[in-house]
């Protein structure tokens, strides 16, 4: 039993840490989010050069064949630096779907281009009425000869503005909330029939509303089997959820450490505010929340993700527990910083905002708590010890 | 025990309700709604339009002021009713700096010239005030303030910096705590209470942007600002006394009960529209429970406030209940903004107020809910942080 | 608007306070709970002499015609003294049912005997499967000529060992969980067919399992209309819930004050532990919980209890909020007392135990929260502002 | 990263499981269950039967002890597995005072005579030990202890009072912190570590009853008790050092993860039987949520403990994680006892252990659940209160 990184993982960790330190100081980061596009192409090129875009892909396609632990390492450091480039939605989530469902031809064509940085895919899954239910899909794809005609509306697609291609979850059969009958289609973001409404998010990332009107796609643009995409969607969203939690953990570490330092230095009534026992205990509780959050992330990372039941349980346990830690550590970081914490100028508020929005991403505390309960309590006889 | 309103109170309630119905401008409602959707800051007119209308109606802009200064002189129950009705109708609130803060200080400690000069403008809403207390580095330790006022002839020369000055960008006047005696044995001594015209040369206002992108607060700089000695309130070096009076004075409404009630109603409406697990979110037991818990806490707080009001009405004088009202009131405000954000799921993400985009996406009701959650983290920090308030209760009530 | 006591109420308050002070010091109270019966007949006689047994009854029967406020006054002081005599189950709950449903003949016969202390009635409602649902009644009463034959099992009937009579909720028609079909029967506790299994409760009160086997009762023993008892049961349990919360409030006041005093006097590391900021803030939070609990009790007392919807909302709001206050104040009282708080010898633990069990009585936090939600959120259109 | 057990670990797991299955006495299970139902205290035999069986099997009664002293010398992973299996099988725990506390002090700081005399009895379970640290008035401020030991010839004369002495009513020996130099400049100096035979004249034990009616702890009085000087461990006046060693020594199992897991399983079983709103309580969303929250906290804690174990295995040495494990572990234990009490509704009321009645009412599983909730309030108080633990983290980890 060990929680150590391998030598390769330590190298990866050092590499990403160096990237953030050298290329992502606070001022640089703030200038990136203020640009029109909200991310920096040069950084993406550098990710490609460093091999980061290949972490999750197989070696035969030129990737690193990385594990969830490798992705955790990347995302945790990205979290510490509040790196805004759309690595999670495009490399991890969309990349995961392509690996999971792509035909040999598709992966041979697409994956090397993702790794090289030439293409970025994103996955458009959420709809307004779906909330966090991945099977709740209204967007329809209707067969028309050899083609499909797609119509629908996808909500809050992260990174879509930066993407060359979008993977669309569309209903080819079944009811709106049926797990069967969902098919994935790949389309260029510039296709006739796709309109992107790009906007910045409250935490300074970018997302888009994706409006799909009479988008005509050939059979070849289908990813995976017709009607059968749901299991892969759930699996890849689950894996992306782990990655998002790794990002959150990196953020929480910064929040906890920054706040502890601030309290040691900030003086009120003639002494550092960290001399107040109430503030000391609050910092202790923040530290404990951080440690517990880290532990449950390690639980998820080391669990058997190839077993769908285990994976779902582990991911929902992780996401709901992480959500609690985000709230506690985030809100107290602001509170202990006082007025300074409230300002846009001071960095702590940006970390708080990003952590909070990760709390919503892929399902909030209530959603994952319910999913965990459904998996662990509805069928109590089958519980293992 | 009796919490039923008297006939007179019920008549007053109807009078207020009718007055709002007939006089609250639709244009103001539209303006504020549009700005909320687009994430823009309110304008000076947004802040003062309603104030000005109330100012022309029996002193309703100043519910607590004595009639002789033009105020409404409401009873505590009337004040409670008035606030309830304003909140129910979602009226823009009257900014407190003039009416609730500097006004009572002026009519209590000011001289006749000061009353004549300043009170009418506060009442009518013509003069926009802001408060100069906090300084960088002083925070909760207000008495450590450094802004200096040195007497030269019939003027004070003011130098220093105030921060977290709400609405300084709109204000005509600022009331300041300044240090007039740096050698006083205790930091609370040697502080004076000074009124400063914001148009005086040497006054500079710089915006502070909060994490939701709003510009509510500012830095206010004083660089050799000449302030006539007639702008000193009361006695020199007695400013701390007036500041403490002011803190204890206006507790009515500090808990924000009526507005939080309205906010919970709004969340319920949102939760009827939003879907969760294929049904309206309002059917989700976990969400229901959180709404109910907020409602119960609020219901308790409402009666805590009513008990305080009843004590006031009975002339038993206020206690340090204001700290309890502040702690619990802001706690609920924060919970409520969080629930609203939570209700809209992914649609808490779009940042409509950004300079980069003001295209509207998502349902109307989702606009700026995350921003509001982030913004309201201030509530447990400002006005004496909730830690400071607990310290007050510990000392003043429990004698620890 | 006022929250003051009337002159009569102040006199009542003073009277009960004096009784507790003079007749219920801690040593006396501890000796009472150790007796076989667990309550003191002389105290009951004194309640009768003081008029306390008549507080809720009409003046025409010799009572005081008291309001919920009057009962609150009695119960709050009883809470402060941890008075164990079964006033709540017999005078308030059973007495309330008799007033509510009794025929003129019944009330004329029974109420004066309750007021004089000659009889004590209790109400047997809970069954194991019912939990807190008052309409879940398995106990059956089957018509047999002019008589009824009653069979069933009633759980945890408080004060039954001290009672002369028991009011039994039995099903005369309908399904086990139907609101219609419940009838109340009055029986002497010594009747053939009733077996009491008496036991002390964890908080040193007394309760009984009531086993009913072929109990034969005449038509005359029916209280109220056949099949129609449910509304009255709910109403009287609701009113008793308010009284129980008044008792809890008295207890919380003692817990908060005792703990504050203890912390001021207990020295550790050379100073009173109340000099620790963390303990100060905890005491502040306990005080605020107490004030909020008091406020919601006043809300319930001053609400329109004659309107069933208003009454249910107010009572469930009260009981669930009070339950939270009980947990917070109770657990922290023990924590701040340290080892001393854990002991049977020291009185704080007894207050904690009683408050905790009041938390269960008539439905716990979850039960009343759900009832409140069902009343306020299931039909949102009808909500008033 | 790898949390899978190695082949050797899996074999060991099977070995432990089989050993428990074949050797844990049914009579002990029955005895303990009967006492739980009737609310009786456990007997000395209940505490020692399993200890004695383990003591005869490769030193399994002392998982951490070196082999040369007869211990099992388990690896951290083996210790973890051993605890898991014992908890799953609901084995009575081995009392910590001998094996985990005084034993390691003796083999680390004691002389050869002391090792020979005391270790075998601790290992075998023949000698029952208790701990004499706390005193009335000392509480969390342990160093303020007053029990004196004055050297007279080759004896110490001990006078004073210890309190909260767990199982002193069963114990043969007590290890005490006593004051040998009242004039030492600091209270931590001048304390010695002394072993005292409970049968020595002048030792008196008086029961303390806890609020659930149980007699777990006692007062232990010393009235001119003559203790031979050979019972002094290490050097005179160095007792504080040994006490601190002891506190840091045994962290394995401090969080009680395996037992809390088992307790949650039991609550789920109860919640299947108990009805709520006409359906099994396990279907009630509010109750489900509380169970799930406890499970998640426990799952996190399990991995926090595993991370600590892994650090130990890697020889990286322990940190002050024990405080975190203690705080979170006891928090969960308390939550779990509360949930169990809550599950049974009205049947939490009957007090079966009372001297007045031991008739059994209600379902078997409901017996003593409220008592257990009340009893477990101790968990955040004893072993250094959770406030003390937070103080340790604040100082040792965060450097505040």
User: What is the per-residue pLDDT across C206-263, written as a single tens digit (0 to 9) for each?
Assistant: 999 999 999 999 999 999 999 999 999 999 999 999 999 999 999 999 999 999 999 9
Q: Please judge whether D1 and A301 are an interchain contact, meaning their C-beta atoms are less than 8 angstroms apart.
A: yes
Total count of domains within chain A: 3
Regarding whether A378 and A237 lie in a shared domain, the answer is yes
- What's residue D358's pLDDT? 53
The bridge status of strand D275-276 relative to strand D279-280 is antiparallel
- What's residue D2's pLDDT? 84
Regarding whether A267 and A336 lie in a shared domain, the answer is yes
Catalytic site residue from D90, D126, D250, D297: D250
Strand blocks (E) in chain A: 121-124, 140-144, 147-158, 165-171, 182-188, 194-200, 206-218, 222-223, 267-268, 271-272
Is pLDDT of A381 > 80? no
Q: Are B82 and B60 in contact (CB under 8 A)?
A: yes
- How far apart are the C-alpha atoms of D213 and B139, rounded to whole Å? 51
Q: Is residue C213 helix, strand or coil?
A: strand
Regarding whether A269 and A199 lie in a shared domain, the answer is no
Q: Which of residues 43-102 of C touch D (CB under 8 A)?
A: none
Regarding whether A275 and A352 lie in a shared domain, the answer is yes
Residue B261, chain C, CB below 8 Å: the answer is yes
Residue C2 in domain: no
Q: Is residue C153 helix, strand or coil?
A: strand
Residue D211, chain C, CB below 8 Å: the answer is yes
C200 closest CB neighbour out of D144, D210, D356 = D356
Regarding whether C206 and C241 lie in a shared domain, the answer is no
Q: Which of residues 146-205 of A touch B (CB under 8 A)?
A: 155-156, 177, 197-204
Q: Please judge whether C295 and B291 are an interchain contact, meaning their C-beta atoms are less than 8 angstroms apart.
A: no
Residue C369, chain B, CB below 8 Å: the answer is yes
- What's residue C383's pLDDT? 42
B301 closest CB neighbour out of C275, C292, C320 = C292
**Interface confidence (ipTM) of the complex:** 0.95
User: Which CATH number does the domain housing residue A101 bear?
Assistant: 1.10.540.10
Q: Which of A95-99, B222-226, D85-89, D138-142 is predicted with the least confidence, judged by mean pLDDT?
A: D138-142
Candidates D276, D285, D290, D291: best to mutate against B (most CBs of B within 10 A) is D285
Q: Which chain C residue shows the shortest CA-CA distance from D164?
A: C339
Residue B8, chain C, CB below 8 Å: the answer is no
Residue C20 in domain: yes
Residue C69 in domain: yes
Residue A130 in domain: yes
Residue C353 in domain: yes
Residue-number span of the structural domain to which A35 is assigned: 7-119
Residue A1 in domain: no
List residues of C whose CB lies inside 8 A of any A CB: 276-278, 281
- How far apart are the C-alpha atoms of C367 and C360, rounded to whole Å? 10
Is pLDDT of B315 > 90? no
- How far apart are the C-alpha atoms of C347 and B57, rounded to whole Å? 59
Candidates D143, D356, D386: best to mutate against C (most CBs of C within 10 A) is D356
Please give the helix or strand (H or E) that residue D375 lies within, else none: helix D369-375
Regarding whether A262 and A204 lie in a shared domain, the answer is no
Q: Which chain A residue shows the shortest CA-CA distance from D269?
A: A380
Candidates A276, A277, A280, A281: best to mutate against C (most CBs of C within 10 A) is A277
Residue A219, chain B, CB below 8 Å: the answer is no
Residue A2 in domain: no
- What's residue B249's pLDDT? 67
Residue B381, chain A, CB below 8 Å: the answer is yes
- How far apart are the C-alpha atoms of A170 and B275, rounded to whole Å? 19
Catalytic site residue from B15, B73, B219, B250: B250
Q: Please judge whether A276 and C281 are an interchain contact, meaning their C-beta atoms are less than 8 angstroms apart.
A: no
* CA distances, C158 to each of B165, C38, C207, C209 (Å): 61, 12, 4, 9
Domain ranges of chain B: 7-94, 129-238, 255-396
D346 closest CB neighbour out of C126, C276, C349 = C126
Regarding whether A370 and A238 lie in a shared domain, the answer is yes
User: Which CATH number does the domain housing residue A345 bear?
Assistant: 1.20.140.10
Regarding whether C161 and C199 lie in a shared domain, the answer is yes
pLDDT tens readout for residues B216-270: 999 999 999 999 999 999 999 999 999 988 876 666 678 899 999 999 999 999 9
pLDDT tens readout for residues B208-220: 999 999 999 999 9
Mean pLDDT score, D346-368: 78
A288 closest CB neighbour out of D324, D387, D399 = D324
Q: What is the CATH number of domain B7-94?
A: 1.10.540.10
Q: Please judge whether A276 and C277 are an interchain contact, meaning their C-beta atoms are less than 8 angstroms apart.
A: yes
Last residue of some domain: A227, A245, A268? A227
Regarding whether C211 and C253 lie in a shared domain, the answer is no
Q: Which chain A residue shows the shortest CA-CA distance from C280?
A: A278
Angle at CA of residue C97, ends C94 and C98, nearest 5°: 90
Confidence of residue C135 (pLDDT cuts 50, 70, 90): very high
Quote the minimal CA–CA distance from D32 to chain A in Å: 22
Residue D377, chain C, CB below 8 Å: the answer is yes
The bridge status of strand B232-233 relative to strand B279-280 is unpaired
The DSSP code sequence of B22-79 is HHS-HHHHHHHHHHHHHTPPPPHHHHHHHHHHHHTSTTTT-TTS-GGGT-----HHHH
pLDDT tens readout for residues C302-326: 999 999 999 999 999 999 999 999 9
Q: Please judge whether C281 and A278 are an interchain contact, meaning their C-beta atoms are less than 8 angstroms apart.
A: yes
The DSSP code sequence of D30-87 is HHHHHHHHHTPPPPHHHHHHHHHHHHTSTTTT-TTS-GGGT-----HHHHHHHHHHHH
User: Which CATH number does the domain housing residue A181 bear?
Assistant: 2.40.110.10
**Chains in touch with B (≥3 Cβ pairs < 8 A):** A, C, D
Q: Which chain A residue shows the shortest CA-CA distance from C276?
A: A277
- How far apart are the C-alpha atoms of B379 and B385, rounded to whole Å? 8
Candidates D292, D326, D331: best to mutate against A (most CBs of A within 10 A) is D292
The structure tokens 């050297």 sit at: D151
- How far apart are the C-alpha atoms of C267 and B59, rounded to whole Å? 56
Residues of chain C contacting residue B309, judged by C-beta atoms under 8 Å apart: 1
Residues of chain B contacting residue D276, judged by C-beta atoms under 8 Å apart: none
- What's residue B251's pLDDT? 61
Is pLDDT of C385 > 50? no
* A to C CB pairs, distance under 8 Å: 8
Q: pLDDT over 70 for what percent of chain C? A: 98
Sign of CA dihedral C184, C188, C193, C195: positive
Regarding whether A373 and A236 lie in a shared domain, the answer is yes
Quote the minimal CA–CA distance from B285 to chain D in Å: 7
Confidence of residue B2 (pLDDT cuts 50, 70, 90): confident
Question: Is there a catalytic annotation at residue D250?
Answer: yes
Quote the minimal CA–CA distance from A112 to chain B in Å: 32
C338 closest CB neighbour out of D211, D347, D381 = D381
Residue A2, chain D, CB below 8 Å: the answer is yes
Mean pLDDT score, C44-68: 96
Q: Please judge whether A345 and B209 are an interchain contact, meaning their C-beta atoms are less than 8 angstroms apart.
A: yes
Residues of chain D contacting residue B289, judged by C-beta atoms under 8 Å apart: 286
Task: Tell me the Cα Rg of chain C.
Answer: 21
Angle at CA of residue A239, ends A234 and A241, nearest 5°: 90
Is pLDDT of C384 > 50? no
Candidates D277, D279, D284, D286: best to mutate against B (most CBs of B within 10 A) is D286
Residue A381, chain B, CB below 8 Å: the answer is no
Q: What are phi and psi of A341, to 5 degrees?
A: -65, -25
Residue B376: closest CA among A322, A331, A336: A331
Confidence of residue A384 (pLDDT cuts 50, 70, 90): very low
Quote the minimal CA–CA distance from D305 to chain B in Å: 30
pLDDT tens readout for residues C146-204: 999 999 999 999 999 999 999 999 999 999 999 999 999 999 999 999 999 999 999 99
Residue A194 in domain: yes
Q: Are A95 and A111 in contact (CB under 8 A)?
A: yes
* A to B CB pairs, distance under 8 Å: 142
Candidates B279, B286, B293: best to mutate against D (most CBs of D within 10 A) is B286
Last residue of some domain: A103, A119, A135? A119
Matching CATH number, B255-396, of 1.20.140.10, 1.20.1050.10, 3.30.9.10, 3.30.70.330: 1.20.140.10
Residue A305, chain D, CB below 8 Å: the answer is no
Residue D275, chain C, CB below 8 Å: the answer is yes
Regarding whether C357 and C289 lie in a shared domain, the answer is yes
D351 closest CB neighbour out of C202, C278, C345 = C202
Q: Which chain B residue shows the shortest CA-CA distance from A198?
A: B357
Q: Are D179 and D190 in contact (CB under 8 A)?
A: yes
SS3 content of chain C, % helix, strand, coil (to 5): 55, 15, 25
Q: Please judge whether C342 and D356 are an interchain contact, meaning their C-beta atoms are less than 8 angstroms apart.
A: no
* Domain D129-238 sits in CATH 3.40.190.10: no
Residue D348, chain C, CB below 8 Å: the answer is yes
Is pLDDT of D253 > 80? no
Regarding whether A67 and A187 lie in a shared domain, the answer is no
Quote the minimal CA–CA distance from B370 to chain A in Å: 7
- What's residue B145's pLDDT? 93
A343 closest CB neighbour out of B134, B210, B347 = B210
């Amino acid at each position: 039993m060990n929680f150590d990184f391998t030598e390769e993982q330590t190298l990866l960790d050092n590499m990403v840490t160096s990237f953030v330190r050298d290329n992502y100081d606070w001022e640089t980061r703030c200038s990136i989010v203020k640009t029109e596009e909200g991310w920096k192409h040069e950084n993406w090129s550098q990710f490609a050069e460093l091999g980061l875009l290949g972490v999750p892909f197989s070696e035969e396609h030129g990737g690193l064949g990385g594990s969830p632990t490798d992705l955790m390492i990347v995302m945790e450091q990205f979290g510490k630096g509040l790196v805004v480039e759309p690595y999670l939605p495009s490399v991890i989530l969309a990349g995961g779907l392509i690996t999971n469902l792509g035909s040999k031809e598709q992966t041979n064509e697409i994956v090397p281009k993702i790794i090289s940085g030439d293409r970025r895919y994103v996955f458009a899954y959420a709809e307004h009425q779906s909330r966090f239910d991945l099977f709740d899909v209204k967007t329809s794809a209707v067969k028309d000869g050899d083609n499909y005609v797609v119509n629908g509306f996808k909500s809050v697609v992260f990174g879509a503005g930066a993407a060359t291609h979008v993977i669309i979850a569309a209903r080819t059969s079944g009811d709106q909330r049926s797990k069967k009958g969902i098919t994935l289609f790949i389309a260029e973001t510039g296709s006739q029939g796709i309109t992107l409404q790009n906007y910045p998010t409250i935490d300074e990332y970018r997302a888009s509303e994706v409006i799909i009107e009479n988008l005509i796609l050939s059979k070849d643009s289908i990813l995976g089997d017709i009607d059968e995409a749901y299991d892969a969607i759930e699996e890849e969203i689950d894996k992306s959820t782990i990655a998002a939690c790794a990002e959150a953990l990196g953020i929480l570490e910064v929040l906890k450490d920054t706040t502890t330092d601030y309290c040691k230095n900030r003086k009120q009534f003639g002494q550092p505010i960290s001399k107040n026992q109430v503030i000391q205990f609050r910092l202790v509780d923040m530290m404990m929340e951080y440690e517990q959050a880290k532990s449950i992330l390690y639980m998820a990372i080391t669990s058997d993700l190839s077993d769908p039941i285990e994976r779902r349980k582990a991911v929902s346990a992780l996401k709901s527990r992480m959500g609690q830690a985000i709230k506690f550590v985030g809100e107290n970081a602001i509170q202990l910083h006082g007025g300074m914490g409230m300002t846009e100028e001071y960095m702590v508020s940006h970390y708080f905002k990003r952590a909070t929005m990760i709390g919503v991403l892929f399902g909030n505390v209530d959603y994952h708590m319910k999913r965990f309960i459904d998996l662990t309590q509805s069928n109590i006889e089958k519980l293992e010890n | 025990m009796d919490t039923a309103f008297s006939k007179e109170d019920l008549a007053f309630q109807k009078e207020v309700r009718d007055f709002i119905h007939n006089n609250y401008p639709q244009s103001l409602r539209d303006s504020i709604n549009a700005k909320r959707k687009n994430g823009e800051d309110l304008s000076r007119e947004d802040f003062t339009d309603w104030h000005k209308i109330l100012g022309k109606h029996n002193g309703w802009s100043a519910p607590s002021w004595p009639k002789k200064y033009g105020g409404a002189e409401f009873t505590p129950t009337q004040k409670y009713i008035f606030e309830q009705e304003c909140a129910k109708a979602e009226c823009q609130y009257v900014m407190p700096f003039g009416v609730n803060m500097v006004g009572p200080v002026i009519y209590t400690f000011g001289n006749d010239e000061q009353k004549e000069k300043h009170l009418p403008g506060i009442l009518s809403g013509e003069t926009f005030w802001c408060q100069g207390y906090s300084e960088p580095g002083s925070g909760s330790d207000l008495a450590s303030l450094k802004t200096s006022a040195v007497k030269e002839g019939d003027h004070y020369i003011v130098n220093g910096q105030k921060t977290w000055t709400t609405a300084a960008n709109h204000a005509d006047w600022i009331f300041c705590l300044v240090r007039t005696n740096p050698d006083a044995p205790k930091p609370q001594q040697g502080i004076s209470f000074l009124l400063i015209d914001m148009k005086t040369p040497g006054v500079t206002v710089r915006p502070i942007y909060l994490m939701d992108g709003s510009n509510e607060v500012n830095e206010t700089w004083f660089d050799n600002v000449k302030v006539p000695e007639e702008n000193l309130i009361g006695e020199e070096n007695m400013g701390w006394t007036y500041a403490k009076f002011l803190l204890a004075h206006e507790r009515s409404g500090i808990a924000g009960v009526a507005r939080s009630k309205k906010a919970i109603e709004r969340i319920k409406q949102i939760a009827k529209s939003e879907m969760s697990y294929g049904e309206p979110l309002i059917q989700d037991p976990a969400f229901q429970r959180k709404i109910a818990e907020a409602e119960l806490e609020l219901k308790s707080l409402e009666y805590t406030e009513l008990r305080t009001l009843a004590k006031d009405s009975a002339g038993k004088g206020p206690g340090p209940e204001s700290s309890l009202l502040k702690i619990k009131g802001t706690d609920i405000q924060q919970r409520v903004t969080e629930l609203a954000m939570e209700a809209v799921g992914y649609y808490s993400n779009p940042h409509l107020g950004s300079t980069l985009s003001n295209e509207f996406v998502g349902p109307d009701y989702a606009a700026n809910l995350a921003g509001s959650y982030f913004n309201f983290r201030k509530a447990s920090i400002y006005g004496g942080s909730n830690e400071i308030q607990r310290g007050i209760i510990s000392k003043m009530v429990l004698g620890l």
